[in-house]
Chains A and B, each alone.
Chain A
Amino acid sequence: MDRSRRRSRLLIFFAAGAALAAAPPPPLHALRWVAPGADGARILTQRPVECLAAPKSASEAYLVEVGRAAFRTPLVLGGAAARAGVECETCHRNGRSNRDFSLPGLSGAPGTADVTSFLFSPKRGDNVFDPKPIPDLGGPKSALKISQAPGSPALERFIHGLVTEEFDGAEPPPAVLAGLAAYVRALSPSACPAATAEPVIMEADAENARRAVRAGLAALAGNDPATAMLMVGAARTALGDMAERYATPDLATDVQSLRVADLDLAAAIADIRQGDPTARLSLETWLAHSEGWTKSLAADEGRSYYDRATLARAIH
């Protein structure tokens, strides 16, 4: 990949929305933070396996699912990072690390980030460029600097500071903060599957969207509309990630089906905001219908950017 011809990588801090016809955009937004010279097609078609321990109770299961969805959407973060599409998952793919992460001004060697840069944070910037290795949240707890001991508030405090100060985000709903901590606590080396990596596939992304919607339904059942809206927003993020993968010239119908699914979720969020009880039914219907449109997506998956060779051709 001829990274030298990519211009203005730092100008990502606005998510501009106008299509100027002169040249095509990069096929996947995650290419923004792939290290120069790295094999973007390989990196973005496989990821580390998630090491998520089974929850011990229904309440823990709920919080882990809320945190898992929140982990995968920029809507939790704020400021320049969120506008660039950065989410927890960006640096911690599947809750692990990201050895290929590289963003000029923020990274030194690939896999490092300066979390006290004024680029992202008006509150934690220190004008010292000191990128640090991104930790593997699925690795040994002893290697992580923040205590994850049950009962200790240290992790919640750290995540709260990360969201509201490091990334200048808004105050997250309490369940989302608790959920993020529960999710991180549930990541454990003892829960890692045998394989170290897994392919990035459509069904996994679709399931991420469904899990987020289910978490939203559970939040609604608990009379927590703020968390429910964020969960459904996270599902929309997952659909957006999928739509990028189908944004090839001949798969417009697939993108359109994803857009229709997205509009249904947008309408559900509007209903939740207005306290409309039909939101619950809308989300249940969405879940039931999702099996249908994912079938056609699966049929075209080999021609989408889920396919390494197809993505490689688009990048080169």
Chain B
Amino acid sequence: MAVWRTALAWGIAAGMAPASLALASGTGGGGGGQMPSFTAPQYDPVREYQQGLADYQAEKFKSAASHFQNVADAQPRDANTWYMLGSAKSGAGDLKGAEKALTKSVKLDPAPIAAHRDLAIAEAKLKENDKANAELAVLNARATACNSACAEAADIKAAVAAVQQALGVVSPSASALPLQGDFKFAALNTGDVAYARAVSLINERRFPEALEALDAAERSFGPHPDILTYKGYVWRKLGRLDLAESFYRRALAEAPTHRGATEYYGELKVIRGDMAGARLMLARLEDACAFGCVEAQDLRRWIDHGGDPAS
């Protein structure tokens, strides 16, 4: 039984010539008859992330931390992965390691409440109360700004309570940090639901909520190039072209011929007036799209129009 891979695999079936096409009639000198790039094992951070998540949920914290560390090495700007690494290290009793990873996570993305909460708790357990109180101040500031009226109100309130409780902890514990974060329950099906919700929210132009849904999907799938691409798209819609570019580039670093990322990165270049760069993206897309694809067709429209043809 073939175990289908996630979205990426579905996409391959839709539009890419199979690897067996490469040099199919050639003999080559290496013995395989195919380009090494087609046959050499390729690292898949999404799969490794999911292994880490499975280990974490099975409370195999050391193994989980090892997997998340590998993912973080491959995707060093992925805040969620650093968060998961911190959680796993904490579960393994490595509070210093947890603090370091969670600090990185918060620095990369200050938005998630859970990261501030767990960082503060780790610091409290390490008797670094000044640092823990600094994180608590961040949470309190968020609570003030929210004024019990935002969607995160309950999460913020629970996080503040958890940190205040932890500040009373005297000695470090080898047990896992409190698992209020929903990643404990993250699974592929819940990731599907979150991803579908994100797509719908994007179409509804509810971009901040879409980002939250994409974060939730990422907790299940890891730094999947589809998710990274949609994050880039949302940030582009929010006017943050710098962030959009960083997500497109991350998606392409993971999947160099990703159609969506290539198309949207090309559109971003059109927005910036970099028509040569956009044409380069189009050329890459046409190269990647055996038998044609709508992504190339749409990017060409952008280039011909000098911007969004729908505007």
- Identify the A interface with B (CB < 8 A): 2, 5-29, 31-32, 74-75, 77-80, 82-85, 104-105, 117-122, 125, 127, 168, 170, 233, 236-237, 239-240, 243-244, 247, 249, 252-253, 255-256, 259, 262, 266, 314-316
**In the bound complex, what is the Cα–Cα distance between A78 and B302 (angstroms)?**
14
Which chain B positions have C-beta within 8 A of A104? 192, 196
Kindly specify which of B7-15, B152-160, B165-173, B241-249 makes contact with the partner chain: B7-15
**In the bound complex, what is the Cα–Cα distance between A105 and B42 (angstroms)?**
32
Is there a chain A Cβ closer than 8 Å to B94's Cβ?
no
Which chain B positions have C-beta within 8 A of A2? 1
**In the bound complex, what is the Cα–Cα distance between A253 and B225 (angstroms)?**
31
Q: Are A83 and B259 in contact (CB under 8 A)?
A: yes
Which chain B positions have C-beta within 8 A of A25? 4-5, 9-10, 12-13
- CB within 8 Å for A259 and B195 given contacts A11-B224, A15-B11, A17-B258: no
**In the bound complex, what is the Cα–Cα distance between A95 and B41 (angstroms)?**
43
Q: Are A266 and B292 in contact (CB under 8 A)?
A: yes
**In the bound complex, what is the Cα–Cα distance between A247 and B191 (angstroms)?**
30
Q: Are A19 and B191 in contact (CB under 8 A)?
A: no
Known interface pairs A13-B199, A19-B12, A266-B292; 19 further A-B residue pairs with C-beta atoms within 8 A, sorted by A's residue number: A5-B1, A8-B191, A9-B10, A12-B7, A12-B10, A18-B254, A19-B38, A25-B10, A29-B13, A31-B13, A118-B201, A119-B196, A125-B204, A127-B204, A237-B291, A243-B291, A255-B18, A259-B290, A266-B286
Q: Are A18 and B257 in contact (CB under 8 A)?
A: yes
- CB within 8 Å for A240 and B2 given contacts A16-B12, A256-B21: no
B54 to A: closest C-beta gap in Å: 12
Q: List 21 A-B contacts (CB under 8 A).
A: A5-B3, A8-B192, A10-B196, A10-B199, A11-B7, A11-B221, A14-B11, A15-B295, A17-B12, A18-B225, A18-B254, A21-B40, A23-B2, A23-B9, A29-B10, A83-B294, A84-B14, A118-B203, A236-B292, A256-B25, A259-B290
Which chain A positions have C-beta within 8 A of B3? 5, 7, 23
Considering only residues 11-45 of chain B, those with a C-beta below 8 Å from chain A are 11-21, 24-25, 38-42, 44
Is there a chain A Cβ closer than 8 Å to B229's Cβ?
yes
Which chain A positions have C-beta within 8 A of B13? 25-29, 31, 244
**In the bound complex, what is the Cα–Cα distance between A80 and B264 (angstroms)?**
13
- CB within 8 Å for A125 and B12 given contacts A6-B4, A243-B290: no
Q: Are B42 and A20 in contact (CB under 8 A)?
A: yes
**In the bound complex, what is the Cα–Cα distance between A85 and B310 (angstroms)?**
21
Considering only residues 174-206 of chain B, those with a C-beta below 8 Å from chain A are 188, 191-193, 195-196, 199-205
Q: Which residue of chain A is the closest to B192 with respect to CB atoms? A: A10
Count of chain B residues near A, Cβ 8 A: 72
- Identify the B interface with A (CB < 8 A): 1-21, 24-25, 38-42, 44, 46-47, 188, 191-193, 195-196, 199-205, 221, 224-226, 229-230, 254-260, 262, 286, 288-295, 297-298, 301, 309-310
**In the bound complex, what is the Cα–Cα distance between A15 and B44 (angstroms)?**
17
Task: With a 10 A CB-CB cut-off, give which of A7, A22, A105, A236 has the most chain B CB atoms.
Answer: A7
**In the bound complex, what is the Cα–Cα distance between A244 and B11 (angstroms)?**
12
Which chain B positions have C-beta within 8 A of A7? 3-6, 188
**In the bound complex, what is the Cα–Cα distance between A7 and B260 (angstroms)?**
20
Q: Are B260 and A253 in contact (CB under 8 A)?
A: no
- CB within 8 Å for A119 and B292 given contacts A20-B5, A21-B41: no
Which chain B positions have C-beta within 8 A of A240? 15, 290-292
Which chain A positions have C-beta within 8 A of B47? 20, 22
Q: Are A22 and B20 in contact (CB under 8 A)?
A: no
Picked from B1, B24, B46, B192, the residue with its CB within 8 Å of the CB of A9 is B192
Which chain B positions have C-beta within 8 A of A315? 2
- CB within 8 Å for A85 and B15 given contacts A8-B7, A14-B259: yes
- CB within 8 Å for A23 and B288 given contacts A14-B258, A17-B257, A170-B309: no
Picked from B10, B195, B202, B255, the residue with its CB within 8 Å of the CB of A20 is B255
Q: Which residue of chain A is the closest to B42 with respect to CB atoms? A: A21
Q: Are B292 and A237 in contact (CB under 8 A)?
A: yes
Picked from B38, B192, B226, the residue with its CB within 8 Å of the CB of A16 is B226
Q: Which residue of chain B is the closest to A85 with respect to CB atoms? A: B14
Q: Which residue of chain B is the closest to A103 with respect to CB atoms? A: B196
Q: Which residue of chain B is the closest to A118 with respect to CB atoms? A: B200
Task: With a 10 A CB-CB cut-off, give which of A23, A27, A314 has the most chain B CB atoms.
Answer: A23
Q: Are B24 and A253 in contact (CB under 8 A)?
A: yes
Which chain A positions have C-beta within 8 A of B2? 23-24, 26, 314-315
Picked from A17, A32, A82, A125, the residue with its CB within 8 Å of the CB of B16 is A17
Which chain B positions have C-beta within 8 A of A24? 2, 4, 9
Q: Are B295 and A83 in contact (CB under 8 A)?
A: yes
Which chain A positions have C-beta within 8 A of B25? 252-253, 256
**In the bound complex, what is the Cα–Cα distance between A237 and B14 (angstroms)?**
10
Task: With a 10 A CB-CB cut-off, give which of B16, B19, B204, B255 has the most chain A CB atoms.
Answer: B16
**In the bound complex, what is the Cα–Cα distance between A55 and B232 (angstroms)?**
48
Q: Which residue of chain A is the closest to B263 with respect to CB atoms? A: A83
Picked from B195, B293, B295, the residue with its CB within 8 Å of the CB of A11 is B195
Which chain A positions have C-beta within 8 A of B256? 18
A230 to B: closest C-beta gap in Å: 9
B24 to A: closest C-beta gap in Å: 4
B260 to A: closest C-beta gap in Å: 4
- CB within 8 Å for A10 and B200 given contacts A16-B11, A16-B260, A255-B21: no
